[in-house]
Structure 1
Amino acid sequence: MEEILLRAIIEYCTHNTAHGTEEIMDKLRQLPDCEVYEYGCLTSCGLCYLSPYALVNGESVEGETAEALYNQIMIKIQEIRLIED
């Protein structure tokens, strides 16, 4: 049986980088089971304006700070890893 590697697809908006999201996305790019995509817009302007946020496998994840967002994304990644095991 072929092993299927589940990957975390992380999407973020370039307009949200004012909250410091670019630095955490650079950290996430280093993880072998993550794919990080940058878009000009994710059509969630309300979220983008208010706080750091990203989509993880299509699900919105937010944090009060960029570091809090990173922690929330890591929780989602751990959930994906658990599904894989």
Structure 2
Amino acid sequence: MIPLVEFCINNLTPDVLEIKNKLEQDPGIDVLEYGCLGNCGICAQGPYAMVNGEVITANSGEELLQKIYQAMDEMEVRY
């Protein structure tokens, strides 16, 4: 199963945009960007993304990238 990582356009700060662009370079990951993912409270607090429908939050862009990869690894084990 190819992991799906979704980003909210309103949360694309420069560091989150850099993460999105990096993930898009990996053909083993589907990356989508939406106008809104409906998580406005989370979105206003800091960097976040959704990995296969699971909300992933972080304090920085670098931490978000690490957590995205960790979530993908954990989900791969479950499938």
| TM-score (norm. length: structure 1) | 0.84
Q: Rg larger in 1 or in 2?
A: 1
Show structure 2 runs of 5+ residues with no match: none
Q: Are 1:41 and 2:48 an aligned pair?
A: no
Paired residues, what number?
A: 79
Shift of 1:83: 4.2
Q: Are 1:25 and 2:20 an aligned pair?
A: yes
Map Cα deviations across residues 5-42 of structure 1 (whole Å, 9 max, x no partner): x1110101011012621110111112222100000101
RMSD: 1.4
Q: Are 1:67 and 2:62 an aligned pair?
A: yes
State percent identity of aligned pairs: 37
Partner letter of residue 22 of structure 2?
K
| TM-score (norm. length: structure 2) | 0.89
